[in-house]
Amino acid sequence: MISNQILQSTIDGLKNITRRDFCIIDAESKIVVSTISNNVGEYVPQVEAFINSQADSQEMQGSHYFKIYDEYLVEYVLSVSGVDDEAYKLGKIVTFQIKSLLVAYKERFDRDNFIKNLLLDNLLLVDIYTRAKKLHIKNNVRRVVFLIECDDKKDNNVSDILRNIFPDKTRDFVTAVDEKNMILVKEVMSDDSAEIEGYAKMIYDTLSAEAMSKVYVAVGAAVNDLKDVSNSYKEATMALEVGKIFNCEGHISHYAKLGIGRIIYQLPLSLCKLFIKEVLKDKRVDSFDEETLTTVNKFFENSLNVSETSRQLYIHRNTLVYRLDKLLKTTGLDLRQFDDAIVFKITIMVSQYMDYMERQSQNRM
């Protein structure tokens, strides 16, 4: 359905050109938009009889009236001031224009509906290809799903911003999931991660520039077939959640780069609790002081290199060794040993996952 704002803008522009007044009336004989002030919402009794008649146009009370059809049903009635030939000609032109807008907006609605059902796996395989052909959507094209979450939209319309970034409506599709999440189904040239990362960064930078408090962008894997777009959406959904848990400093998460976080995210909480209990002996990761955790994280960032870690932390090498020995006495894990380092790294990630799930559970209560 065309918005009233679009219809009002259309007839306002036409009045500026033609110096004629226009009204658009709905199928219930009420004025929807008008260039005449203070008559929107009024009931027009003569229009009801006109709608039920066989005529497509009619002169009534000093104006020309024209039916505007959506397929075989009357969607609107257009009123043009005047009963002369010019008014009739203008009415025919405006009727054609609004009918074209109806077709365009209906196709857009149909495409949006199709993409939503495709993402949610609500279509049979045969329906996917049949409807895609009808809507002129190509099948064997490489596509990626981007899931965008904005915590604070303020007065910004995220869908409009995304459509301005990617204006080709025949190749790229923008649709809403809920009031916080938007989806972009983007056509890409190849599997080149640089291209996909470039789009993700473009989305993040543009939306962040619109003064939104928090923006997260999650990226699914590239797929070659329409039927697999839903898989890319599911991957993007997982990437969004996993990224929030383990990628604390970043706001862009790629499914292909989730690594071990993807595995931990799918573990049952009971198993996670058992693992933490076995490794930390009834302690929690957050029981360690901030200095220890900062040291450990920097040590991991530098691939267990003692010299480089101490340099970046601005501490003496022996101070770092002392901290690692202290952790060894507490946990029995020597982080200078690769196997022990892996165990503690997984322990930190499992603890992050458990904390996140606990917060989610509390928020739902």
- What interhelical angle do 338-364 and 290-301 show, nearest 10? 120
Which residue ranges in the chain fall short of pLDDT 70? 1, 107, 152-156, 211-213, 248-249, 282, 365
Tens of pLDDT, residue by residue over 159-188, are 888 988 998 888 899 998 777 889 999 999
What does DSSP say about strands 143-150 and 181-187: parallel, antiparallel, or unpaired? antiparallel
pLDDT at 253: 93
pLDDT at 78: 94
Query: Of 49, 48, 24, 47, which Cα lies nearest the Cα of 35?
Result: 24
Is the Cβ–Cβ distance between 65 and 52 less than 8 Å?
no
pLDDT at 156: 54
The pTM of this model reads 0.69
**Three-state secondary-structure class, residue 182:** strand
- Residue 325, both tokens: 């020995």
pLDDT at 249: 67
269-364 and 4-105 share a CATH fold: no
- Residue 50, both tokens: 């006109």
CA distances from residue 285 to 21, 85, 270, 347, 352 in whole angstroms, order as listed: 72, 83, 17, 8, 9
pLDDT at 155: 45
**Three-state secondary-structure class, residue 121:** coil
Q: Please give the CATH number for the structural domain made up of 4-105.
A: 3.30.450.20
CB-based contacts of 49, cutoff 8 Å, min separation 6: none
pLDDT at 177: 77
Mind giving me the DSSP string for 221-285? Answer: --BSSGGGHHHHHHHHHHHHHHHHHH-TT-SEEEGGG-THHHHHHTS-HHHHHHHHHHHHTT--G
Q: Which CATH number fits domain 125-262: 3.30.70.270, 3.50.50.60, 1.10.3760.10, 3.40.50.2300?
A: 3.30.70.270
Q: Please give the CATH number for the structural domain made up of 269-364.
A: 1.10.10.2840
Domain ranges of the chain: 4-105, 125-262, 269-364
